[in-house]
């Protein structure tokens, strides 16, 4: 291609789409291009998450996750109302089922207050029953500002609006980026279907973020490691047992939120996800395997550090991944009345975790600039909720670093 774009965005997930949208809204006359390797938007993390609009309850006060989650949530709900995106701010309960969880419940509540999570309140066992009659718990938190949304439709709408603003801006599907070079002040983006030239580059690569960053010459010590999350669904006859969203108190020693119940926008009820190491970065089936992805992850010290720190959890997660009975047992901690006949296997998603060399997964959102490029290196949950706030942050960084006007 001889065309030169003002800004190229790599990645058609919701963070890439929000960035594309924010930039074009700010600069309607600049020629932008979004490059996506799949044949559709939101094919990976954005389209395979739990569909929750997160409140900001769990994240360290003052962190980018905390700030962007709350800002992004407000903006996402407003965007959804204005553009008829299917969503519902239905609220959720976080439930402590054992005495040992009460201190962690208090900590989460204090976090929520510090993060300006509006409307949250501590509730007792009978109040939990009023909200979710089938749930057994000692104490809980009612979080009215949590919601559910169709993230795929939201992603598509952001792209549709962006394309309508400038007839010269475009989206390319099935263009996997193979290499990124710099030449004569331009970014040369080599894809499987040809070369794309742009003055500036923004990469929102998700599960491929580290590889794309290295291709662009960013010295990165960390590595992305994928973790698959399997879901079950409630059978139609059991859907009455869940009204909206039910979460356990997360274990502070485990880097995931735990198995929860989510009423989706289409009325389905999902239970999950678990969290198991994925032998393929974009592998959604239990037997999916990629030799190169496996070698990449298992030759990295950070992966083994994470394994060693979470041996018992890891074993339990794997056992549960292959045992409906064990999965049900976990679900029954919150809803004791659930039976084997109430649940069926559902879909799966894969989460990208930028693992440090010591196996730490609790890194904040991370966005870096280098040689006319901005790379989103780490955007785990609640990135979908925070997408418009992240897009705004990237836009402001682009204005400053790229000298846009």
Instruction: Return mean pLDDT, the chain.
Output: 95
Structure tokens at 255: 């880097």
Q: Would you place residue 351 in the very low, low, confident or very high pLDDT band (cuts 50, 70, 90)?
A: very high
| CA atoms of 258 and 58, how far apart (whole Å) | 12
User: What is the arithmetic mean of pLDDT over 227-244?
Assistant: 96
DSSP 257: -
Q: Would you place residue 257 in the very low, low, confident or very high pLDDT band (cuts 50, 70, 90)?
A: confident
Q: Where are the domains of the chain?
A: 4-46+152-221+363-402, 223-361
User: What is the arithmetic mean of pLDDT over 341-369?
Assistant: 92
Could you say which of 3.30.9, 1.10.150, 1.20.120, 3.90.226 is the CATH number of the domain covering 223-361?
3.30.9
Q: What does the pLDDT read at residue 100?
A: 94
Query: Is 31:5 a contact under the CB 8 Å cutoff?
Result: yes
Cβ-proximal residues to 280 (8 Å cutoff; 6+ apart), any chain: 226, 288, 289, 290, 293, 294
- Measured at the alpha carbon of residue 70, what is the angle toward residues 67 and 75, in degrees to the nearest 5? 120
| CA atoms of 285 and 230, how far apart (whole Å) | 9
Architecture of domain 4-46+152-221+363-402: 3-Layer(bba) Sandwich (3.50)
Give yes or no for residue 258 having a pLDDT over 90: no
User: What is the arithmetic mean of pLDDT over 152-176?
Assistant: 98
Sort strands 32-35 and 170-172 into parallel, antiparallel or unpaired: parallel
Sole residue written with tokens 């054992």: 98
pLDDT digits (tens, 9 = 90+) for 53-105: 999 999 999 999 999 999 999 999 999 999 999 999 999 999 999 999 999 99
pLDDT digits (tens, 9 = 90+) for 172-203: 999 999 999 999 999 999 999 999 999 999 99
Can 4-46+152-221+363-402 and 223-361 be said to share one CATH topology?
no
User: What is the arithmetic mean of pLDDT over 7-27?
Assistant: 98
User: What is the arithmetic mean of pLDDT over 372-377?
Assistant: 97
């Amino acid at each position: 291609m001889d065309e030169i774009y003002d800004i190229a965005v790599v990645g058609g997930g919701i963070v890439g789409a929000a960035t594309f949208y924010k930039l074009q809204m700010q600069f309607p006359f600049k020629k932008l291009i979004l490059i996506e390797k799949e044949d559709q938007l939101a094919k990976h993390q954005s389209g395979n998450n739990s569909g929750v609009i997160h409140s900001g309850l769990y994240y360290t006060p003052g962190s980018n996750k905390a700030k962007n989650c709350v800002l992004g949530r407000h903006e996402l709900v407003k965007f959804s109302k204005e553009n008829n995106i299917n969503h519902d701010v239905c609220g959720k309960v976080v439930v402590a089922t054992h005495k040992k969880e009460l201190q962690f419940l208090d900590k989460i509540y204090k976090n929520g207050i510090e993060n300006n999570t509006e409307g949250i309140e501590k509730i007792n066992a009978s109040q939990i029953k009023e909200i979710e009659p089938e749930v057994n718990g000692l104490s809980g938190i009612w979080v009215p500002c949590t919601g559910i949304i169709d993230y795929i439709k939201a992603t598509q709408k952001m792209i549709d609006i962006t394309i309508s603003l400038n007839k010269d801006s475009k989206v390319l599907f099935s263009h996997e980026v193979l290499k990124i070079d710099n030449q004569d002040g331009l970014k040369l983006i080599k894809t499987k279907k040809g070369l794309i030239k742009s003055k500036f580059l923004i990469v929102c690569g998700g599960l491929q973020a580290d590889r794309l960053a290295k291709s662009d010459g960013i010295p990165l010590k960390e590595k992305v490691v994928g973790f698959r999350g399997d879901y079950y669904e409630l059978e139609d006859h059991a859907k009455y047992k869940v009204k909206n969203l039910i979460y356990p108190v997360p274990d502070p020693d485990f880097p995931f939120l735990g198995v929860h119940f989510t009423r989706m926008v289409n009325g389905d009820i999902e239970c999950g996800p678990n969290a198991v190491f994925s032998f393929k970065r974009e592998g959604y089936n239990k037997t999916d395997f990629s030799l190169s992805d496996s070698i990449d992850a298992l030759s990295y010290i950070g992966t083994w550090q994470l394994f060693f720190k979470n041996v018992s959890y890891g074993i339990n997660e794997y056992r549960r991944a292959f045992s409906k009975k064990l999965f049900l047992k976990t679900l029954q901690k919150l809803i004791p009345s659930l039976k084997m006949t109430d649940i069926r296997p559902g879909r799966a998603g894969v989460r990208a975790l930028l693992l440090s060399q010591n196996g730490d997964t609790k890194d904040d959102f991370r966005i870096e600039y280098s040689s006319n490029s901005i790379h989103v290196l780490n955007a785990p949950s609640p990135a979908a909720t925070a997408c418009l706030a992240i897009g705004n942050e990237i836009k402001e960084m682009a204005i400053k670093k790229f000298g846009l006007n």
